[in-house]
Amino acid sequence: MWRFIAMRVLHVIPTLIAISMIAFFIIQLPPGDFLSTQVARLEAAGQSVDQAQMDALRERYGIGEPFWVQYAKWIGNIVLHGDFGLSFQFQQPVSTLIADRLPLTLALGIATLMFTWAIALPAGIYSAIKQHTWGDYTISGIGFVALAVPQFLAALVLAYLGFALFDQSVGGMFSPEYVNAPWGIGKFVDLLGHLWIPVVVIGLAGTAGIIRVTRANMLDELNKPYVITARAKGLSEGKLVTKYPVRIAMNPFISTAGWHLPSLFDGEIIVAQVLALGTIGPLLLEALKSQDMYLAGGIILIIAVLTVIGTLISDLLLAAVDPRVRFGKA
Amino acid sequence: MSWRRRNLERDAAREIAAATVDDDRPMDPGSILELQNLCTTFHTDEGAVKAVDDVSLRIRRGSTTCIVGESGSGKSATARSIIQVVDHPGRVDAGRVLYRPAADRPAADRPAADRPVVDLAALDATGPGIRSIRGREIGLVFQEPMSSLSPVHTIGDQIGELLELHERLAPAAARERVIDDLRRVGIPRPEERFGAYTFQLSGGMRQRAMIAMALVCRPSLLIADEPTTALDVTTQAQILDLLAELKESLGMTLMFITHDLGVVAEIADDVVVMRHGKVVEHGPVDQIFHDPRHEYTRELLAALPQRTTLAVDEPAQAAAAEQPARPLLRIEDLEMTFEAAAGTMFGRRRRTERVNAVDKVTLDIPEGSTVGLVGESGCGKTTLGRCVLRAYRPTAGRLLYTGADGRETDLARLSEKELLPFRRQIRMVFQDPYGSLNPRMTVRQVVGEPLRVAGLASGSELDGRVEEMLERVGLKRSMAGRYPHAFSGGERQRIGIARALITEPRLVVADEAVSALDVSVRTQILELLAELQGDLGLTYLFISHDLSVVERICDQVAVMYFGVMVEHGPAEQVFADPRHGYTRALLSAVPVADPRQRGTRSRVDYEPEDSAA
Q: Transcribe B132-176 into DSSP letters.
A: HHBTTTEEEE-S-HHHHS-TTS-HHHHHHHHHHHHS---HHHHHH
pLDDT at B308: 47
% of chain A at pLDDT higher than 90 = 3
On the 0-12 / 13-18 / 19+ scale of CB atoms within 10 A, B181 is buried
pLDDT at B350: 52
Contact B142 A229 (CB under 8 A): yes
The answer, for B345 touching chain A at a CB cutoff of 8 Å, is: yes
CA-based nearest residue in chain A for residue B348: A3
Chain A residues touching residue B348 (CB < 8 angstroms): 3
Contact B346 A327 (CB under 8 A): yes
Sheet of strand B396-402, all strands in order from the earlier edge strand to the far edge: B351-365, B329-342, B396-402, B408-410
Domain count, chain A: 1
Residue A206 pLDDT greater than 60, yes or no: yes
User: Is A172 within a domain?
Assistant: yes
pLDDT at B552: 84
- The shortest C-alpha distance from B237 to chain A (Å) reads 24
Residue B472 pLDDT greater than 50, yes or no: yes
CB count within 10 Å of CB B564 equals: 18
pLDDT at B221: 93
Q: How far is CA B587 from the centre of its chain?
A: 17
The dihedral through the CA atoms of A302, A305, A311, A317 has a sign that is: negative
Residue numbers of A between 56 and 95 with CB closer than 8 Å to B = none
Contact A323 B152 (CB under 8 A): yes
User: Is A37 within a domain?
Assistant: no
Q: Please, which residues have CB within 8 angstroms of residue B24's CB and are 6 or more apart in sequence? A: none
Closest by Cβ to B200, choosing from A4, A229, A327: A327
Q: Are strands B329-342 and B118-119 parallel, antiparallel or unpaired?
A: unpaired
pLDDT at B609: 57
Q: Please, which residues have CB within 8 angstroms of residue A190's CB and are 6 or more apart in sequence? A: A174, A175, A178
Higher-confidence position of A272 and B602: A272
Give dist(CA B153, CA B197) in Å, integer.
6
User: Is A64 within a domain?
Assistant: no
- The shortest C-alpha distance from A5 to chain B (Å) reads 9
pLDDT at B63: 92
- For the segment A134-173, what is each residue's pLDDT rounded down to a tens digit? 989 998 888 888 888 888 888 888 888 878 887 776 667 7
Chain B residues touching residue A321 (CB < 8 angstroms): 152
Residue A56 pLDDT greater than 60, yes or no: yes
Chain B residues touching residue A223 (CB < 8 angstroms): 87-88
The answer, for A324 touching chain B at a CB cutoff of 8 Å, is: yes
Strand segments (E) across chain A:
86-87, 92-93
Contact A226 B148 (CB under 8 A): yes
Nearest Cα residue to B41 out of B97, B86, B98: B86
Task: State mean pLDDT over B87-110.
Answer: 72
Residue B427: band (very low, low, confident or very high) from pLDDT cuts 50, 70, 90: very high
Residue B347 pLDDT greater than 50, yes or no: no
Strand partners, B538: none
Contact B344 A328 (CB under 8 A): yes
CA-based nearest residue in chain A for residue B349: A3
pLDDT at B23: 64
CA-based nearest residue in chain B for residue A328: B344
User: Is A124 within a domain?
Assistant: yes
pLDDT at B608: 65
The answer, for B133 touching chain A at a CB cutoff of 8 Å, is: yes
Give dist(CA A242, CA A245) in Å, integer.
7
Residue A13 pLDDT greater than 80, yes or no: yes
Give dist(CA B509, CA B499) in Å, integer.
13
Task: State mean pLDDT over B52-74.
Answer: 89
Could you give the domains of chain B?
2-134+269-303 (3.40.50.300), 310-425+507-613 (3.40.50.300), 436-504 (no CATH)
A310-314, B68-72, B83-87, B104-108: the lowest-pLDDT one: B104-108
Contact A324 B150 (CB under 8 A): no
The answer, for A4 touching chain B at a CB cutoff of 8 Å, is: yes
Residue B256: band (very low, low, confident or very high) from pLDDT cuts 50, 70, 90: very high
CB count within 10 Å of CB B508 equals: 24
- Give the 3-state secondary structure of A130-191: CCCCHHHHHHHHHHHHHHHCCHHHHHHHHHHHHHHHHCCCCCCCCCHHHCCCCCCHHHHHHH
The answer, for A8 touching chain B at a CB cutoff of 8 Å, is: no
User: Is A119 within a domain?
Assistant: yes
Contact B126 A236 (CB under 8 A): yes
Closest by Cβ to B199, choosing from A222, A237, A324: A324
Closest by Cβ to A234, choosing from B131, B148, B151: B131
CA-based nearest residue in chain B for residue A244: B150
Where residue A123 sits, what CATH number does that domain have?
1.10.3720.10
User: Is A158 within a domain?
Assistant: yes
Higher-confidence position of B72 and B221: B221
Closest by Cβ to A234, choosing from B80, B132, B148: B132
- For the segment A92-133, what is each residue's pLDDT rounded down to a tens digit? 888 888 888 888 888 888 888 888 888 888 999 999 988 888
Contact B126 A247 (CB under 8 A): no
CA-based nearest residue in chain B for residue A235: B131
Contact A235 B161 (CB under 8 A): yes
% of chain A at pLDDT higher than 70 = 96
The answer, for B151 touching chain A at a CB cutoff of 8 Å, is: yes
Contact A327 B162 (CB under 8 A): no
The answer, for B341 touching chain A at a CB cutoff of 8 Å, is: no
Task: State mean pLDDT over A313-321.
Answer: 84
User: Is A200 within a domain?
Assistant: yes
User: Is A264 within a domain?
Assistant: yes
pLDDT at A267: 65
The answer, for A221 touching chain B at a CB cutoff of 8 Å, is: no
The answer, for A248 touching chain B at a CB cutoff of 8 Å, is: yes
Residue B558: band (very low, low, confident or very high) from pLDDT cuts 50, 70, 90: very high
Give dist(CA B69, CA B300) in Å, integer.
9
Give dist(CA B91, CA B85) in Å, integer.
9
Q: Please, which residues have CB within 8 angstroms of residue B183's CB and are 6 or more apart in sequence? A: B190
- The shortest C-alpha distance from B36 to chain A (Å) reads 22
The answer, for A328 touching chain B at a CB cutoff of 8 Å, is: yes
Residue B176: band (very low, low, confident or very high) from pLDDT cuts 50, 70, 90: very high
Q: Which of helix, strand or coil describes residue B252?
A: coil
Nearest Cα residue to B225 out of B39, B63, B85: B85
Higher-confidence position of B64 and A149: B64
Residue A292 pLDDT greater than 90, yes or no: no
pLDDT at B282: 92
CA-based nearest residue in chain B for residue A231: B85
Interface test with B, best of A2, A8, A231 (most B CBs within 10 A): A231
Chain A residues touching residue B139 (CB < 8 angstroms): 232
Range of the structural domain that residue A138 is part of = 102-288
- For the segment B287-323, what is each residue's pLDDT rounded down to a tens digit? 999 999 999 998 888 877 655 444 434 433 444 444 4
A194-208, B496-510, B573-587: the lowest-pLDDT one: A194-208
Interface test with B, best of A226, A321, A325, A329 (most B CBs within 10 A): A226
**Residue B376 vs residues A225, A305, B286, B387: alpha-carbon distances, Å:** 25, 52, 31, 18
